Amino acid sequence: MTAHENQGDPALAQLRAMLSRRRFLGTAGAIGAGVAVSGSLAACGTKSNTRSYDFPKDASASEKLVRWANWPLYLDVDGKRYPTLDAFMKQSGLAVTYREDVDDNNSFWGKVRNQLASGKDCGYDIVTVTDWMAARFMQYGYAQPLDAALIPNKTNILPSLANVGFDPGRKQSLTWQSGFGGLVWNKEKVPQGLKSVADLWQPALKGKVTVLSEMRDTMGVLLQSQGVDITKGISDTQFANAIDLLSKQLKSGQIYKVQGNSYKDDLTTGTAWAGIVWSGDIFQLNLDSDKWGFALPDSGGTLWSDNMLIASTSNHQKNAMELMNYYYEPAVAAKVAAYVNYICPVQGAQAEMEKIDPKLAQSEFIFPSAEMLARARVFPALTAEQEKTFNEQWSTATGV
């Protein structure tokens, strides 16, 4: 990393030191970006599944805490400390319980849905889930409304993220991070690199290819490799053709595993040499070794966002919104982006990044250009029938 030379700022010096020595011992997670995102409203339930209780009374005044569920390695960390979170707790007087409990959207949904449905405390005030899962939370009534007056920094959100299809006006959600789904390769094992999805099927990579258990990212990449413009919707035939491709590569042993964030462990141990993965994870890994290459396929990658929601069973609403507001301060957002290397949703953060690392301030994977964004596409909204059919086909093919 190229460190900013302003040595007079101890906070920046601490961040630079943290970035230079961090080691990634766990698994990473992620998530649109600077383009309008279509809402993938998954109508996968019935009226009986929706919330049938009032939101809890806010106990923020007497209970000075916030409980936050996020994906692994999705916040700046220094050893066992989270510097920006420590600063927030000192500044606000609130205690934050931060847990890396989201490894996959569906598994997390399975973990909390019964409590949310019955009105029992799900254990979290803020949950961080991908666009389509955020849409599901809102459909069922499992996300509480945000009070814009308590989140003045909400106006810092990128204009193209301010009015997403699943939450116009961002009345119940705020983007946490965004990112790309694309190709990774081990530079030592695949020195020629990868340009297309077809490159994953070369004999030299048999048994060394991993793909994401996030159906929308893996299938979004495969569909585009077959010439499908996913922005125009996906037909049953198109999806079936892509499933056939996936099934063929799984049965042949070319793809050895379909998995969530644990793929990072397999990359570092050499179990995997290539695959379909998330952008920020690879840039985090490369801070130590520069061993992995990442690119959007020539046919196109995927684009997604993870979003902060206040769970319907939370009774620390004001505290949760104070935390959300803090992370929408450009200087704070830049510190997070410098660590996670995903697309930053906060206006003004790029200028703040110049103070931390001028090189990162020019990164297309944190502050992408319009040209870069044009090479990635958001997985489209699915009808209730498509949601059911596609998930069944995916589960049959992958066992996930």
pLDDT tens sequence across 159-173: 889 988 889 999 999
- Of residues 380 and 116, more confidently modeled: 116
d(CA 328, CA 231): 29
- Of residues 64 and 3, more confidently modeled: 64
Report helix, strand or coil for 61. coil
pLDDT digits (tens, 9 = 90+) for 324-356: 999 999 999 999 999 998 999 999 999 999 999
Within the chain, all domains assigned CATH 3.40.190.10 are found at: 17-176+305-352, 179-303+379-398
End-to-end CA gap in the chain: 38
| Structural tokens at position 69 | 């569920």
**Letter for the amino acid at 67?**
R
User: What kind of fold does domain 179-303+379-398 have according to CATH?
Assistant: D-Maltodextrin-Binding Protein; domain 2 (3.40.190)
pLDDT at 48: 53
Average pLDDT over residues 50-75: 96
Average pLDDT over residues 283-293: 85
pLDDT at 381: 80
- Angle between helices 384-398 and 236-251 in degrees, nearest 10: 10
| φ, ψ (nearest 5 deg) of residue 207 | 80, 5
| φ, ψ (nearest 5 deg) of residue 182 | -160, -155
Average pLDDT over residues 65-72: 96
- Of residues 85 and 378, more confidently modeled: 85
pLDDT at 165: 83
Q: How confident is the model at residue 259 (pLDDT cuts 50, 70, 90)?
A: very high
| Structural tokens at position 43 | 């109508």
SS3 content of the chain, % helix, strand, coil (to 5): 40, 15, 40
pLDDT digits (tens, 9 = 90+) for 169-221: 999 999 999 999 999 999 999 999 999 999 999 999 999 999 999 899 999 99
Superfamily of domain 17-176+305-352: Periplasmic binding protein-like II (3.40.190.10)
Average pLDDT over residues 239-248: 98
C-beta atoms surrounding 334 within 10 Å: 26
